[in-house]
A and B are shown apart, each in its own frame.
Chain A
Amino acid sequence: MTSVLDQVGLVARRSVRRTLRQPALIVPTIVFPLFLLAVNSSGLSAATDIPGFPASSYLDFAITVCFVQGAMFAAITAGTELATDVQSGFLNRLQLTPLTRLAILIGQMAGATTLALLGAVTYLAVGVIAGVDVKSGVGGAAVLIVYALFTAVAFSGIGATLGARTGSPEAVQGAFPLMFALFFLSSMSMPRELISIDWFRTVATWNPASYLIEGMRSLVITGWDGTALWRGVAIGAGILALSFWSASRALATRMART
Chain B
Amino acid sequence: MRRDFTTVAGAVLRRNLIHAFTNPALLIPSAVFPLLFFVAFAGGLSNVANVPGFDFPSGYTAFQFVFVFLQSAAFGGVFTGFAAAADFESGFGRRLLLASPRRRGIVAGYVVAAIARWCFTATIVSVAAAIAGMHVDGGVAQLVALVSLALLVNMTATLWGVGMALRFQTLQAGPAMQIPVFLILFMAPVYVPLDLIGGWVHDAASYNPLTALVESGRGFISGVPDVVGLAYLAGFGLVALGLVWALTGLRRAERGV
Contacts and interface: CB of A to CB of B under 8 A. Distances in A.
Contacts of B198: 42, 45-46
B36 interface: yes
Interface residues of B, number: 36
Interface in B46-94: 46-48, 50-54
A43 B190 contact: yes
Contact of B46 (A39, A170, A188, A197): A197
A50 B51 contact: yes
Given A43-B190, A174-B29, A204 B44 contact: yes
B199 A42 contact: yes
Interface stretch (B10-18, B135-143, B181-189, B210-218): B181-189
Contacts of B25: 170, 174
B53 to A, nearest CB: 7
Contact of A28 (B46, B47, B48, B175): B175
B179 to A, nearest CB: 8
Does more than half of chain B's interface fall in helix, strand or loop, or is it mixed? Answer: helix
A112 B29 CA distance: 24
B45 A42 contact: no
Interface string B185-212: 0110111100011111110000000000
A204 B44 CA distance: 9
Does more than half of chain A's interface fall in helix, strand or loop, or is it mixed? Answer: helix
B197 A195 contact: no
A185 B40 contact: yes
A41 B43 CA distance: 18
B33 to A, nearest CB: 6
A49 interface: yes
Given A44-B192, A49-B51, A39 B32 contact: no
Nearest to A204: B44
B223 to A, nearest CB: 24
B247 to A, nearest CB: 29
A177 interface: yes
A50 B54 CA distance: 11
A38 interface: yes
A180 B28 CA distance: 14
A47 interface: yes
A196 interface: yes
Nearest to B33: A177
A174 B199 CA distance: 35
Interface in A175-196: 177, 180-181, 184-185, 187-190, 194-196
A25 to B, nearest CB: 11
A196 B174 CA distance: 37
B152 interface: no
A185 B36 CA distance: 8
Contacts of B189: 43
B199 A189 contact: no
A150 to B, nearest CB: 25
B246 interface: no
A206 interface: no
A194 B52 contact: no
A188 B44 contact: yes
A44 B44 contact: no
A195 B186 contact: no
Contacts of A189: 40, 44-45
A190 B45 contact: yes
A237 B248 CA distance: 54
A24 interface: yes
A50 B196 CA distance: 13
B54 A46 contact: yes
A35 interface: yes
Contacts of B44: 184-185, 187-190, 195, 197, 200, 204
A43 B189 CA distance: 7
Contacts of A39: 186-187, 190, 201
B49 to A, nearest CB: 8
Contacts of B32: 177, 181
Given A181-B32, A187-B44, A190-B47, 19 more contacts: A28-B175, A39-B201, A40-B191, A42-B198, A42-B201, A43-B201, A44-B45, A46-B198, A49-B52, A170-B25, A177-B28, A185-B40, A188-B44, A190-B44, A190-B48, A196-B47, A197-B42, A199-B43, A200-B43
Top 3 nearest A-B pairs by Cβ distance?
Answer: A42-B201, A200-B43, A184-B40
25 contacts: A35-B183, A38-B200, A38-B201, A40-B191, A42-B197, A43-B192, A43-B197, A44-B191, A45-B198, A45-B199, A46-B53, A47-B51, A49-B51, A177-B29, A177-B32, A184-B37, A185-B39, A185-B44, A189-B40, A190-B45, A190-B47, A195-B43, A195-B46, A197-B44, A200-B46
